[in-house]
Amino acid sequence: MTATWVKRAFKYRFYPTDVQAAELSRTFGCVRKVYNMALAARTEAWMIRQERVNYNATSAMLTAWKKTRELAFLNQVSSVPLQQCLRHLQGAFANFFAKRARYPRFKSRRKSRASAEYTSSAFLFRDGELTLAKMSEPLDIRWSRPLPEGATPSTVTVSRDGAGRWFVSMLCDDPTVQPLAAKDTAVGIDAGLDHLLTLSTGEKIANPRHERKDRARLAKAQRTLAKKTKGSANRARARLKVARIHARIADRRRDHLHKITTRLVRENQTLVIEDLTVRNMVKNHTLARAICDAAWSEFRSLLEYKALWYGREVIVVDRWFPSPRICSTCGTLQGRMPLSVRTWTCDCGTTHDRDVNAAKNLLAAGRAVTACGAGVRPQRNTPGGQSAMKQEVSRREP
């Protein structure tokens, strides 16, 4: 039964003592140092000798590094986070060779995430208290929600964000995550900026624009930061103030997306979305800030893993599908349609809201995929005889 349970991370904020904070900061630095040294060793071995170095070889290197005078400080922290960072590096190379990611990059002291991962041999979880290796006192954790009954963490990840907040993430088997009762409802979802989401039912979900609400505060804090002398204590305090505003924006955005995706997954069996190329869309400097604030990629990620948990289906329609320009009533493909056109009337007499019409067409395309197989899209013919998809592709070709 345990093998069918979902692995789920429960994240909590905690407040370390000065001794614990110093120990964890030292661990973060050692993890970053070992990761960068191992990455440099693997890169050098390939560039000079055309030799691939695996995890076992870097683990042996770590043992040798600890015996040197220059790197003897690595013995002062728990060895488990150091071994885990080598495993993470191995995973990064595996993703690179499988063409799922770019070549691994070095960790920066200022920009990289400060974190350390502990396996079960390096922490003690008993009676609701968590004690990490090299520490004599348990962490002061704020239990915002309970762990699943009887759950024991398999790994614990401690991190510190740019705003100076400390978090601990516990990976557990969660027996409460089970497929929901099947429904016969399906919904098309069109992402936008005027409204964050428009559903094929006609419902429009407002875009909170969290970044815009705090833009004045953020700009003031950034101007103050720019005036401070680099390396000074005043600059460090100003940087922390900017980071806290960014953290507030990100937290509110993430909370809003969690609520929306949970509701959509609970209410619908099939969810159809469009395959948006956000990476290319943010190259439009006029809309880049608004697109980043909408967080379409994060919305899709949350929707997909929740659908997987609860037995729902997410269908992604091809990015070239001209959903706003097809009449959802008669199937006629319209000509060019600028973003400024929010409503339009088809030759059949139907007046469409651009976003609602797009959501309806996405739902129709998703149903076609379900009925005919993956990759199939409705090829509605225009009066001229050319399919909607072919016209859209030809329109985008140079």
Query: H/E/C letters for each residue in the chain?
Result: CHHHCEEEEEEEEECCCHHHHHHHHHHHHHHHHHHHHHHHHHHHHHHHHCCCCCHHHHHHHHHHHHCCCCCHHHHHCCHHHHHHHHHHHHHHHHHHHCCCCCCCCCCCCCCCCEEEEEEHHHEEEECCEEEECCCCCCCCEECCCCCCCCCCCCEEEEEECCCCCEEEEEEEEECCCCCCCCCCCEEEEEECCCEEEEECCCCEEECCCHHHHCHHHHHHHHHHHHCCCCCCHHHHHHHHHHHHHHHHHHHHHHHHHHHHHHHHHHHCCEEEEECCCHHHHCCCCCCHHHHHHHCHHHHHHHHHHHHHHCCCEEEEECCCCCHHHECCCCCCECCCCCCCCCEEECCCCCEEEHHHHHHHHHHHHHHHHHHHCCCCCCCCECCCCCEHHHHHHHHHCC
Average pLDDT, the chain: 89
Percent of the chain with pLDDT over 90: 70
Question: Parallel, antiparallel, or unpaired for β 313-317 and 270-274?
Answer: parallel
Rg (C-alpha) for the chain, rounded Å, is 26
Residue 156: what are its φ and ψ, rounded to 5°? Answer: -130, 130
- Token pair 């006029």 in the structure block, residue: 286
CA distance 355 to 323: 9
pLDDT above 90: residue 373: no
Does residue 159 or residue 394 have the better pLDDT?
A: 159
pLDDT at 23: 96
Phi, then psi, of 317 in degrees rounded to 5: -90, 145
State the CB neighbour count (10 A cutoff) for residue 323: 25
Query: Is residue 372 scored above 80 in pLDDT?
Result: no
Hey, what are 334's tokens?
């319209």
Say how far apart CA 173 and CA 3 lie, in whole Å: 9
CB 147 within 8 Å of CB 130? no
Q: Is the CB of residue 135 less than 8 Å from the CB of residue 23?
A: yes
pLDDT at 294 over 60: yes
392 or 84, greater pLDDT:
84
Nearest CA to 378 out of 389, 370, 386 is that of: 389
Which residues are CB-contacts of 374 (< 8 A; sequence separation ≥ 6)? none
Give residue 9's pLDDT: 94
Mean pLDDT of the region 43-68? 94
Lowest mean pLDDT segment, chosen from 24-28, 148-152, 366-370: 366-370
Hey, which of 144-153, 225-234, 274-283 has the most confident mean pLDDT?
225-234
Higher pLDDT, 372 or 272: 272
Minimum mean pLDDT among 176-180, 248-252, 342-346: which range?
342-346
Q: What's the whole-number mean pLDDT along residues 19-35?
A: 97
Provide the sign of the torsion angle of the four alpha carbons 147, 148, 149, 151, taken in this order.
negative
pLDDT of residue 11 exceeding 50, the answer is: yes
Q: Quick one: tokens of 183?
A: 């429904």
pLDDT digits (tens, 9 = 90+) for 313-342: 999 998 888 888 888 888 888 888 888 888
Residue 369, CA distances (Å) to 152, 188, 331, 387 in order: 41, 13, 17, 17
Mean pLDDT of 40-47: 94
Which residues pair with residue 123 across a beta bridge? Answer: 132
pLDDT in tens, 82-110: 999 999 999 999 999 999 999 999 999 98
Residue type (1 letter), 336: R
For 152-172, how does the pLDDT look when each residue is reduced to its tens digit (9 = 90+)? 999 999 999 999 999 999 999
pLDDT for the residue numbered 389: 38
Question: What token pair was written down for 2?
Answer: 């345990």
Residue 390 above 50 pLDDT? no
Residue spans per domain, the chain: 2-174, 186-316, 318-393
Which positions are catalytic?
Answer: 190, 274, 355
CA angle 29, 63, 75 (to 5 degrees): 45
Q: Round to whole Å and give the CA distance between 269 and 274.
A: 17
Q: What is the pLDDT, as a whole number, of residue 150?
A: 83
The pLDDT assigned to 4 comes to: 67
Q: How crowded is residue 319: how many other Cβ atoms within 10 Å of its Cβ? A: 10
